[in-house]
Chains A and B, each alone.
Chain A
């Protein structure tokens, strides 16, 4: 299967830690990347590879993986982290990409 499944929504208290998960068979072979999307804006890459962050992304964002599950952790969530988060990976062919179903993160 090339599907990536995420929980639809999670909430986190300001300053606390939240983990968002992404499940799919392709994650046994390929790393996931994670994108943040705020309303009305284009997605932004926040984590990719084993645990890499593009320039300008705060170090409170981190990634990990185990078996068929990839995770994005926000340690010390800030109000500006409230957004939709999508995982992404290659599919079984290795040439196509597939996005997860998306998780809406609310910071309380």
Chain B
């Protein structure tokens, strides 16, 4: 059974930093790209970032480019999202999701975690 468990969310002040983690089990982690998707309270889904199975290719939404960094540790079956210069508009539930393929942009998101809430507020 595929399981994705996010952690690391919480309350952070504007301009602050936070690192989200997503621990994966039930899959050969390095064989699949992974992605982060967020959902602001009462709003729709927003694709944030993706990383290839090897970690060699990364992609970002314009709204987070230059502030967020996606990475992975295939030896630990763990995906990360490093978030810097956080803004109020980054407040959202952050989901990690498995991509159907090893390439980051091509496959669908076939398994999702339950999400972790990030609140950016003073």
The reply to whether the CB of A35 lies closer than 8 angstroms to some CB of chain B is: yes
* Cβ 8 A contact of B47, one of A44, A54, A96: A96
Give CA–CA (A95, B113) in the complex, Å. Answer: 22
Asked if B44 and A102 sit within 8 Å, CB to CB, the answer is: yes
Interface string of A53-66 (1 = CB under 8 A from B): 01000000000000
Give CA–CA (A42, B97) in the complex, Å. Answer: 10
Give CA–CA (A97, B110) in the complex, Å. Answer: 14
The reply to whether the CB of A33 lies closer than 8 angstroms to some CB of chain B is: yes
Count the A-B residue pairs with Cβ separation under 8 angstroms: how many? Answer: 57
Residues of A within 8 A of B (CB): 33, 35, 37, 41-45, 48-49, 54, 84, 86, 88, 90, 94-102
**How many residues from B make CB contacts under 8 Å with A?**
21
CB nearest neighbor in B for A43: B112
CB of A23, distance to nearest CB on chain B (Å): 15
Give CA–CA (A48, B110) in the complex, Å. Answer: 10
Q: Which 9 residue pairs are nearest across A and B when measured between Cβ atoms?
A: A95-B105, A42-B112, A97-B47, A99-B45, A102-B44, A48-B108, A33-B108, A95-B59, A45-B110
Residues of B within 8 A of A (CB): 35, 37, 44-47, 50, 59, 61, 95, 100, 104-106, 108-110, 112-115
* Cβ 8 A contact of A97, one of B44, B50, B95: B50
CB nearest neighbor in B for A95: B105
Asked if B61 and A96 sit within 8 Å, CB to CB, the answer is: yes
Give CA–CA (A37, B95) in the complex, Å. Answer: 13
User: A45 to chain B: which residues have CB within 8 Å?
Assistant: 108-110
- Residue pairs across A and B with Cβ atoms less than 8 A apart, 20 shown, are A33-B109, A35-B45, A35-B109, A42-B112, A42-B113, A43-B95, A44-B112, A45-B108, A45-B109, A45-B110, A48-B100, A48-B108, A54-B110, A88-B45, A88-B108, A95-B50, A96-B50, A96-B105, A99-B44, A99-B47
Asked if A95 and B104 sit within 8 Å, CB to CB, the answer is: yes
Give CA–CA (A96, B33) in the complex, Å. Answer: 13
Asked if A97 and B112 sit within 8 Å, CB to CB, the answer is: no
Asked if A94 and B105 sit within 8 Å, CB to CB, the answer is: yes
Give CA–CA (A99, B44) in the complex, Å. Answer: 8
